[in-house]
Amino acid sequence: MIDEGDFVSIRGPLERRDGKFVLLIPLTLGGDKLAKHAGTLGHVEGGVLRIDISAPLAAELDWKEGDIVSIDNAGGLLSIELWDGTE
């Protein structure tokens, strides 16, 4: 179970780098806590958690560069969803 003090929920843009879609989450804004749950999807690169999303998966989810996604670690699991614009 996740400690309430470790809960992180953040939004950010989907970027495209090296032929992949990526989320870059500063460690100081919660990336450090999300990294514990990212598994093989993410790795720390400099001062950010980088989460790579393959182009085929992004296409299947209908995600595009510049889309805003919501990332959290509720229940001890990393969750990434397209942000619907509501709180």
Q: Provide the residue-wise pLDDT of the chain in tens; the chain has 87 residues.
A: 445 678 999 999 999 998 889 999 999 999 999 999 998 889 999 999 999 999 999 999 999 999 999 999 998 899 999 998 886
pLDDT score at 23: 96
- Residue 44 bridge partners (DSSP): 49
The structural domains of the chain, with segments of one domain joined by +, span 15-82
pTM confidence score = 0.86
**Cβ–Cβ under 8 Å, residues 49 and 35:** yes
pLDDT score at 86: 80
